[in-house]
């Protein structure tokens, strides 16, 4: 059961909505942004969605996505007829009609209630089952995966998704523990094992931070889902529509940055050097970080980076 004490402060709230609704001068005579259909691809606890709804006209619409059953429960408290929620990951953006959205917002962070609820298993700070699934109604938990995963696979996940230089040692320790005393089943067991294995600690960071991040990203296929959602956004966005993405670690931000860069240039076919190039699909507009006052008020905002792009008219 979710505790009301597990509150969530939405990062870059006003900046994200301004970026989503801001209309370029060239479109001054175009449709009113308030009349458009918008997508909150990661509803979370609804901070962005509620502010979007406050900006919409009676004709506007908001479609939200989330895998987390608790997020769906929170969304059902919104009775606004302009709002609809889908219990799906945002890779399912491709199910929306082509060129139907005036803006797509993706907030890639794990919500504070997810982190702070011990039952979800996202945090090494609390004793709880080693789960980490965003959607607790389906799929395999981290504990279940670790029951049979091979040392090499565990090491690859920790290295690739956690950028952990001690990935090999941690993976060997996990498998050795499994063989000696049975599989790891709780967050504190995993955190202690990593702490015992990683002798060199980064200042101010728990030694288990990178391992927990890696397992969460892997078990939820987060990077693959992000890539699929970004590709789908190209089809869903109307010309002039905004893509706004808030990421919280380098792996996500690198994917977003490279995706925008890739589609912000004309593509020439080397096999047909005199043919007209394929026009660019996006125009990069901005890169925004939280202000010092926001980081001071909400330390979890410190690593956030928001990138903004516009779907071109081509």
For range 132-159, the mean pLDDT: 96
User: Three-state SS string across the chain, please?
Assistant: CCCCCCCCCCCCHHHHHHHHHCCCHHHCCCCCHHHCEEEECCCCCCHHHHHHHHHCCCCCEEEEECCCHHHHHHHCCCCCCCEEEECCCHHHHHHCCCCCEEEEEEECCCCHHHHHCHHHCCCCCCCCECCCCCCCCCCCCHHHHHCCCCHHHHHHHHHHHHCCCCHHHHHHHHHHHHHHHCCCCEHHHHHHHHHHHCCCCCCCCCCCHHHHHHHHHHHCCHHHHHHHHHHHHHHHEEEEEEEEEEECCHHHHHHHHHHHHHCCCCECCCCCCCCCCECCCEEEEEEECCCHHHHHHCHHHCCCEEEEEEECCC
* pLDDT for position 265: 77
pLDDT digits (tens, 9 = 90+) for 56-82: 999 999 999 999 999 999 999 999 999
pLDDT score recorded for residue 288: 96
CB neighbour class for 166 (10 Å; exposed up to 12, middle 13-18, buried from 19): buried
First to last CA, the chain: 48
Q: Taking 60 as the threshold, does the pLDDT of residue 28 lie above it? A: no
Burial of 68 (0-12, 13-18, 19+ CB in 10 A): buried
Query: Span 75-104, mean pLDDT?
Result: 97
pLDDT at 46 over 60: yes
Contact present, 241 and 311 (Cβ < 8 Å): yes
- The three-point CA angle 51-56-58 to 5° equals 135
pLDDT confidence of residue 313: 76
Q: Of 24-28, 119-123, 262-266, which range is least confident? A: 24-28
Say whether pLDDT at 2 is over 70: no
What residue ranges define each of the domains in the chain, with the CATH number in brackets? 13-112+222-311 (3.40.50.150), 136-219 (1.10.150.170)
| The predicted structure's pLDDT at residue 118 | 87
Question: For 114-134, what is the mean pLDDT?
Answer: 89
Highest-confidence range of 1-15, 65-79, 196-210, 264-278, by mean pLDDT? Answer: 65-79
Q: What is the pLDDT of residues 162-206, one digit of tens each?
A: 999 999 999 999 999 999 999 999 999 999 999 999 977 778 788
Least confident of 11-25, 38-52, 91-105, 144-158: 11-25
- Bridge partners (DSSP) of residue 278 are 267
What's the pLDDT band for 299 if we cut at 50, 70, 90? confident
Rounded to whole angstroms, the Cα distance separating 86 from 177 reads 40
pLDDT band with cut points at 50, 70 and 90 for residue 125: confident
Half-sphere exposure of 245 (CA within 13 A, CB side): 24
Alpha-carbon gap, residue 268 to 174, rounded angstroms: 49
% of residues, the chain, pLDDT over 70: 91
Mean pLDDT over all residues of the chain?
90
pLDDT tops 90 at residue 221: yes
Q: Which residue has the higher pLDDT, 116 or 84?
A: 84
Contact between 50 and 74 (Cβ < 8 Å): no
User: Above 70 in pLDDT, residue 4?
Assistant: no
Higher pLDDT: 230 or 118? It is 230
124 pLDDT band (50/70/90 cuts)?
A: confident
Listed in sequence order, the residues at least 6 apart from 103 whose beta carbon sits closer than 8 Å to its beta carbon are: 20, 21, 33, 36, 38, 39, 237, 241, 242, 243, 244
pLDDT of amino acid 279: 73
Q: Which residue has the higher pLDDT, 89 or 28?
A: 89
Angle subtended by helix axes 151-162 and 167-181, to nearest 10: 140
């Amino acid at each position: 059961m979710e505790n009301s004490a597990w509150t969530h402060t939405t990062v870059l709230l006003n900046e994200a909505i301004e970026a989503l609704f801001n209309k370029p001068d060239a479109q001054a005579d175009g449709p009113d942004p308030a009349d458009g259909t918008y997508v909150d691809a990661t509803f979370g606890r609804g901070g962005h969605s509620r502010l979007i709804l406050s900006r919409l006209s009676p004709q506007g619409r908001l479609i939200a996505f989330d895998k987390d059953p608790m997020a769906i429960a929170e969304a059902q408290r919104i009775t606004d007829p302009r709002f609809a929620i889908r219990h799906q990951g945002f890779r399912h953006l491709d199910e929306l009609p082509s060129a139907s959205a005036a803006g797509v917002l993706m907030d890639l962070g794990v919500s504070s209630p997810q982190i702070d609820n011990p039952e979800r298993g996202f945090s090494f700070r609390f004793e709880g089952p080693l789960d980490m699934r965003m959607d607790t109604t389906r799929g395999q938990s981290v504990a279940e995966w670790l029951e049979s995963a091979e040392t090499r696979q565990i090491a690859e996940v920790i290295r690739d998704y956690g950028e952990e230089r001690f990935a090999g040692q941690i993976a060997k320790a996990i498998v050795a523990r499994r063989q000696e005393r049975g599989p790891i089943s709780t967050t504190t067991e995993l955190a202690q094992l990593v702490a015992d294995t990683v002798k060199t600690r980064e200042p101010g960071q728990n030694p288990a931070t990178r391992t927990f991040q890696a397992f969460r990203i892997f078990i939820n296929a987060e990077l693959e889902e992000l890539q699929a959602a970004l590709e789908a956004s190209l089809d869903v966005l109307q010309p002039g529509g905004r893509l706004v993405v808030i990421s919280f670690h380098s792996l996500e931000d690198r994917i977003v940055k490279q995706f925008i860069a890739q589609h912000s240039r004309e593509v020439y076919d080397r096999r047909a050097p005199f043919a007209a190039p394929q026009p660019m699909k996006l125009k990069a507009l901005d890169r925004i970080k939280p202000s010092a006052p926001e980081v001071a008020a909400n330390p979890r905002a410190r690593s956030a980076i928001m990138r903004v792009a516009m779907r071109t008219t081509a």
